[in-house]
Amino acid sequence: MITLVFYSLTGQCRRFVDKLGLLDTSIELKSTANYPRMTSPFILLVPSYDDSDVELVDDFLTENVALCQGLLGSGNRNFGPEFCKTARRYAQTYGLPILHEFEFNGTDQDLEYVKGILSHES
């Protein structure tokens, strides 16, 4: 299974990763730690935040984009065009595919879909 890297400022993405059963094998980007230098392919899961709230993720992705296989976006559909805006910005900036977008911490269908993505990307 490919490595999942995620950022979770409010905990929604972390809950999604926990529901996937991957907290022990995923990499969580935290503002209190240096971001990792990746040596193998990964998929990046990001929430929808203002650009100033994801500077750590920006730095991580800039350094590791060559190994990023795609993006997963989490957001709130009530925000209209702002839904999954961080993943969409990264997709446009770096030419990365958005593999899936989901609301909040995901439904059972979202979990199954993402499990399939992660198992096929290895």
* pLDDT tens sequence across 48-83: 877 667 888 999 999 999 999 999 999 998 888 889
CATH of the domain at 16: 3.40.50.360
Q: What is the pLDDT of residues 18-59, one digit of tens each?
A: 999 999 999 999 987 788 999 999 999 999 877 667 888 999
Domain count, the chain: 1
pTM of the model: 0.93
Write a three-state SS string for the chain.
CCEEEEECCCCHHHHHHHHHCCCCCCEEECCCCCCCCCCCCEEEEECCCCHHHHHHHHHHHHHHHHHEEEEEEEECHHHHHHCCHHHHHHHHHHCCCEEEEEECCCCHHHHHHHHHHHHHCC
Q: What's the pLDDT at 32?
A: 73
